[in-house]
Amino acid sequence: MTNHQTDPLYSRVVIVGAGQAAAAVARTLRAEGHQGGIIMLGEERVGPYERPPLSKAWLSAENAPEVAALLDRSQPEQFDVDLRTGTHVTRIDRPSRTVHVDDGTQIHFDRLVIATGGRARRLAVPGDASADIAYLRTIDDALHIRRGLIAGKRLLVIGGGWIGLETACSARKLGVDVVLVEAAERLCERTVPAIVGQHLLKIHRSLGVDVRLGAGIERLSKLPGERYAASLSGVREEFDLVVAGVGMVANDELAAEAGLPCAGGVLCDVEGRTVDPYVFACGDVASFEHPFGPVGMRRLESWDNAEQQGAACARAILGKQAVAHSLPWFWSDQGDVNVQILGFPNATATPVVREGDGKVTLVWLEECATDEPARIVAAVCINAAADMPVLRRIWQKGVRVDRETLAAKDVSLKSLLQRTVGGAKNGGANN
């Protein structure tokens, strides 16, 4: 008789959460030969689905697109996943290895994965309309916002991060007048260097978004006819819809109440291991030290991290050797402009800039005492999507590049990679 507790291949895995990371765990477990039961508990009315389109195609389309399911109603049987939607977990009992559900059900686990993601950070604004501020995190949120995006209406977006910017772009595409206020002095201040924020500002102003930096909202009040009066830096203005994108709060309460160390997320290693050998965490809720990032624990709120860490978590559950980690990758669509980010761009370092034909690629090299060839550590591609896979290959191969060659307009990144792989000295191009 197999002991599920000692043989992870036959263990019962319970996944709390049903998002991108949770789906990656389930898929990878089955792909790696897991034979035990998999129970996935999700609070939403639907199973795992792609969230990135919510602030892009969903908001700007005339009709709501189909949900891009990660485990649709036919796939759970294929992966043999017991998917339970509309399920609220109230408690994790680590000593007895049980999960308690609000209907009184208790579910035993041999291995537990906490993939509870996060929720939109809420604003408390003086006035009587704080509860009417819309946030974008789920399908229902997207549908609610989309109904209010009507040509000629006025939208107030609070927050100049990725969600706020994508919402503003989608609204402009539909002919909505948009005012965006950001308390910081630049856009996406928390995630990208100033040079990238400057490009984002240029994009949005060219689209007709009224971007106001160093500005905030002091009061929000209801008006007749489902309209709102907002006090923005002391000036009263009226709007038809107010959307806030001011960050995310990790749903780590269950973990904290179960005695797991948390600090703005569940503390774990890069493969999702917590201090409890039977409990793992992954996705937006997981806080870990990335092998190629700055020192310190952090959460990575991205599709790519959810996929990578979910898969790594599944292999860790099975006791399998970890796959080599790669630089994190993120993308955003700003109107018709695509922005991609690789790694952790250094706000204090000067990138190499490759620019032309409406495309901009910024590349950061590892810090060296001299101008010798160095490895790529981060990059941002603005409307230069073709550059990103080449840059990723350059990084993966450990190619060293000098700044002069990298900046040369007559040297394509692809040719640089080919020449380097072909044996060019020190990773330089043969000019």
pLDDT the model gives residue 147: 94
Count of beta carbons in the 10 Å neighbourhood of residue 225: 6
**Average of per-residue pLDDT across 73-83:** 74
Q: Output the six-digit token pair for 363.
A: 């590349």
Give percent of the chain with pLDDT exceeding 70.
Answer: 93
Any idea which of 180-184, 276-280, 369-373, 403-407 has the lowest mean pLDDT?
369-373
pTM listed for this prediction: 0.92
CA distance 389 to 371: 25
pLDDT for residue 422 is more than 70: no
* Main-chain dihedrals φ then ψ at residue 285, nearest 5 degrees: -85, -15
pLDDT the model gives residue 4: 56
CATH of 8-119+248-317, one of 3.90.1150.10, 3.50.50.60, 3.30.1180.20, 3.40.50.300: 3.50.50.60
CATH of domain 122-244: 3.50.50.60
Task: Kindly indicate the confidence band of residue 427, based on its pLDDT and cuts at 50, 70 and 90.
Answer: very low
Return residue ranges of the chain for CATH 3.50.50.60. Answer: 8-119+248-317, 122-244
pLDDT the model gives residue 419: 58
**Average of per-residue pLDDT across 134-142:** 95
Q: 124-150 b/e with 16+ CB inside 10 Å = b? A: ebebebeeebbbbbbbebbeebbebbe
Q: Give CB contacts under 8 A, 24+ apart, made by 221-224.
A: 221/127, 221/128, 221/129, 222/127, 222/128, 222/129, 222/132
* Nearest Cα to Cα of residue 87 among 12, 139, 13, 15: 15
Q: Which residues contact 387 (CB under 8 A, 6 or more apart)?
A: 354, 359, 361, 379, 381, 413
**Average of per-residue pLDDT across 293-319:** 94
CA distance 162 to 307: 19
Pairing mode of beta strands 329-334, 279-281? unpaired
Any idea which of 60-69, 250-259, 266-275, 303-312 has the lowest mean pLDDT?
60-69
pLDDT the model gives residue 237: 98
C-alpha dist (Å) from residue 83 to 27, 28, 53, 88, 404: 13, 16, 23, 13, 54
CA distance 402 to 214: 38
CA distance 286 to 20: 13
Task: Kindly indicate the confidence band of residue 369, based on its pLDDT and cuts at 50, 70 and 90.
Answer: low
pLDDT for residue 321 is more than 90: no
Task: Kindly indicate the confidence band of residue 424, based on its pLDDT and cuts at 50, 70 and 90.
Answer: very low
CA 128 from chain center: how many Å?
Answer: 32
Q: Are 330 and 198 in contact (CB under 8 A)?
A: no
Give percent of the chain with pLDDT exceeding 90.
Answer: 77
Phi-psi region of 273 (alpha: psi -120 to 50; beta: other; left: phi over 0): beta
Return residue ranges of the chain for CATH 3.30.390.30. Answer: 345-427
CATH of 345-427, one of 3.30.360.10, 3.30.390.30, 3.40.190.10, 3.40.640.10: 3.30.390.30
